């Protein structure tokens, strides 16, 4: 995995040639692990804030319902920050991803333009995250019981950005698992083993 990741990172702006399935999927695994690590790191301040809120509420003798409302209000304060960090992680990952996916498409004999589908669908999902950010914060700050939270989640899950992003993932998986074309194709020689 390290060889493949180094190779793809050293060719992050190279849209020419072909990449084998193994090279591509190990690199995708590295990108997923990167996004997971960024997600963990960005959630640490949120978790610390929530626990501070809980400890303060317990010290003041808050009842469970008030504690839930305080936790939701504290979490709502972090929604904007979380959306911005997620958007930043998306931009970085997309920049690192696109050339490798184009080379993988070339290896299967397809034009690199297909790489626009996952990029555009993820961009639309990020747009919807920003568009809903204020509404999510408002609702979370006013939620006082779990039933209200579930109703809010059901309402927001109807957002087309949530479903559209899956189209991009399906395109990546679909093209990513295709076999390499044997021998040279219009995009170059077969990829070499790393």
- Residue-level pLDDT, tens digit, the chain, 194 residues: 889 999 999 999 999 999 999 999 999 999 999 989 988 888 888 888 888 888 888 888 877 777 777 777 777 777 788 888 888 888 899 999 999 999 999 999 999 999 999 999 888 888 888 887 787 777 777 766 667 767 776 766 666 666 777 888 899 999 999 999 888 999 988 888 77
Whether this model's pTM surpasses 0.95: no
For residues 62-88, b (16+ Cβ closer than 10 Å) or e, as one string?
Answer: beeeebbbbbbbbbbebbeebbebbbe
Per-residue pLDDT, 143: 67
Per-residue pLDDT, 64: 74
Q: How far apart are CA 70 and CA 145, in angstroms?
A: 11
């Amino acid at each position: 995995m390290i060889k493949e990741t180094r190779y793809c990172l050293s060719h992050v702006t190279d849209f020419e040639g072909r990449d084998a399935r193994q090279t591509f999927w190990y690199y995708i695994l590295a990108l997923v692990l990167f996004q997971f690590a960024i997600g963990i790191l960005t959630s640490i301040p949120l978790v610390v804030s929530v626990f501070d809120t809980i400890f303060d509420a317990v010290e003041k003798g808050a009842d469970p319902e008030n504690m839930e409302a305080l936790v939701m209000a504290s979490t709502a304060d972090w929604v904007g920050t979380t959306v911005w960090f997620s958007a930043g992680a998306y931009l970085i990952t997309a920049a690192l991803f696109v050339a490798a996916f184009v080379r993988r498409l070339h290896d299967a004999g397809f034009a690199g333009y297909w790489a626009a589908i996952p990029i555009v669908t993820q961009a639309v999902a990020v747009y919807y995250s920003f568009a809903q950010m204020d509404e999510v914060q408002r609702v979370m700050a006013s939620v006082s019981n779990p039933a209200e939270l579930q109703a809010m989640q059901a309402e927001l899950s109807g957002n087309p950005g949530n479903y559209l992003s899956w189209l991009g993932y399906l395109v990546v998986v679909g093209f990513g698992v295709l076999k390499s074309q044997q021998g040279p194709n219009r995009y170059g020689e077969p990829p070499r083993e790393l």
